[in-house]
Amino acid sequence: MKLWTLFLGLLLFPAFSYTQTEKGRVVVDSIASAFLQNEFGESPTRKVSVYLPPGYDESNERYPVIYYLHGFTGNHTMYPQMIEALDFAVTTHRIRPFILVIPDQLTTYGGSFYSNSGIFGNWEDFTVQDLVRYMDEHYRTLADKDSRGITGHSMGGYGALKIAMHHPEVFGSVYALSPGALTIIREYGPNSNTYKELSQIKTVEELDKTYFPRVIVAFAKSWSPNPDKPPFYCDIPFEYNGDELIVHQDVLEKWYKNMPLHMIDSYLDNINQLKAIKLDWGRNAGDRFLIQCDMFSQRLENVGVTHFAEEYIGTHVSGIWTINGRVVDDMLPFFNTYLEFKK
């Protein structure tokens, strides 16, 4: 028994020591962007976390880049669990060595929704132009669309789909983790309590104590800003006058132009240029995620777009960055398959 235990230990030791010593590192950089200049207090200088894989500093290799977009109220912070998951994925060969980038797009209203508002900043342009150019100029990247993937969770999944649909010349593949804001449904819709609650809110301080009304205002600041309409400086497509629902069709059309389900027909040629598309969602995430993700996938299917769509057992936030979670077991292997790792 002792000999067997010793033999087993010798077999396991090399793998154990390998995974312990193969570590990547994170650089926190910053980018000042003219695209983000505004008069509403949003900082035009943004932090960016850059994960560099094991071996980056010892080699002269160039690496593909995965751009990861964070969720609502999130930022660029790369927590130890995230770094551990990325290292684990590389050292266990879920993916070949790569660079991962997380830009800070937290705003005073919770998140940019990776959109060009003009008034509050042009966040899509910052992402597609300034961020990508900065990475290609300051890090050893493979500066080609086929070596760039874009992904993100929740608001970030929305941003990844929207930006990929707009810019297939920049990003070759997209994976949206439980994306939101694909269409107007459930808590985003006019017959929910959200707009009635919002009609009673008169200050930013009151708004910040809510969730869904705050999300709706973030949508509006991103897609239908109005500098002449305090206190939130935006137009909203639905409002209540007592119990009467009022629909502002012109504002609703602006929202539809920024919601991926409604963008499919207009951007179908762009979508067909993408090498690969995948989205997923948790079975227990709530109806607004299940229904809108299913609608988006069905619409892609109906217009002949090959893609992957998966419902998994979990909530909106469970098992994303764990060692055996969606990032390690699904998202990174997807990019290992569809990114180009060599020139």
What CATH number is associated with residue 55? 3.40.50.1820
163 and 49 co-located in one domain: yes
Domain contains 19: no
CB atoms within 10 A of CB 287: 10
Tokens representing 226 are 């109005």
Q: Are residues 200 and 267 in the same domain?
A: no
270 and 317 part of one domain: yes
What pLDDT does 242 receive? 86
Domain count across the chain:
2
Among the candidates 231, 253, 275, a domain finishes at 253
Give the whole-angstrom CA distance, residue 215 versus residue 113. Answer: 10
Which residues on neighbouring strands pair with residue 277, listed in sequence order?
A: 174
Task: For residue 111, give every residue at least 6 positions away whose Cβ sits within 8 Å of its Cβ, in sequence order, or none.
Answer: 70, 71, 72, 73, 74, 105, 155, 218
The two structure tokens encoding residue 224: 């239908």
| Residue 56 sits in the same domain as residue 92 | yes
Same domain, yes or no: 42 and 104: yes
Q: What is the mean pLDDT of residues 22-35?
A: 96
In a domain, 14, yes or no: no
The confidence score (pLDDT) of residue 14 equals 42
How many alpha carbons fall within 13 Å on the CB side of residue 39?
6
Q: What one-character-per-residue DSSP string does 146-206 give? A: GGEEEEEETHHHHHHHHHHHH-TTT-SEEEEES---SS--GGGSTTSSHHHHHHT--SHHH
Q: Which domain holds residue 247?
A: 190-253
Q: How are strands ordered across the β-sheet holding 45-52?
A: 25-32, 45-52, 99-103, 65-69, 148-153, 173-177, 276-282, 308-312
Give the phi and the psi of residue 210 in degrees, each rounded to 5.
Answer: -110, 175
**Per-residue pLDDT averaged across 268-296, rounded?**
95
Pair (93, 169) in one structural domain = yes
d(CA 110, CA 71): 9
Q: How far apart are CA 82 and CA 328, in angstroms?
A: 10
Based on the fold, state whether residues 123 and 249 are members of the same structural domain.
no
Residues near 337 by beta carbon (within 8 Å), at least 6 away in sequence: 276
What does the pLDDT look like over 295-338, one tens digit per residue? 999 999 999 999 999 999 999 999 999 999 999 999 999 999 99
Maximum alpha-carbon separation in the chain: 81
Q: Are 46 and 79 in contact (CB under 8 A)?
A: no
Same domain flag for 271 and 249: no
231 and 317 belong to one structural domain: no
Residue 11 domain flag: no
Residues 197 and 273 in one domain: no
First vs last C-alpha separation in the chain? 51
How many beta carbons lie within 10 A of that of residue 308, not counting itself? 13
> Cβ neighbours of residue 98 under 8 Å, at least 6 residues apart?
53, 63, 64, 65, 66, 90, 335, 339, 341
126 falls within a domain? yes
User: Could you read off the pLDDT of 196-224 as tens digits, one per residue?
Assistant: 999 999 999 999 999 999 999 999 999 99
Domain for residue 73, yes or no? Answer: yes
Which of the residue ranges 18-22, 155-159, 197-201, 224-228 would you say has the lowest mean pLDDT?
18-22
Torsional class of 41: left (φ above 0), alpha (ψ -120 to 50), beta (otherwise): left
Looking at the structure, do residues 328 and 205 belong to the same domain, yes or no?
A: no
* Domain end (from 232, 253, 274): 253
Q: What is the pLDDT of residue 21?
A: 55
- Angstrom distances, CA of residue 306 to CA of 298, 299, 317, 323: 11, 11, 27, 29
Q: Is residue 6 part of a domain?
A: no
- Asked if residue 103 has a cis previous peptide bond (ω within 30° of 0), the answer is no
pLDDT bin (cut points 50, 70, 90) of residue 8 is very low
- 247 located within any domain: yes
Domain boundary among 206, 224, 253: 253
- For the chain, give the mean pLDDT: 93
Q: Residue 9: inside a domain, yes or no?
A: no
Same domain, 179 and 225: no
Q: What is the mean pLDDT of residues 261-274?
A: 98
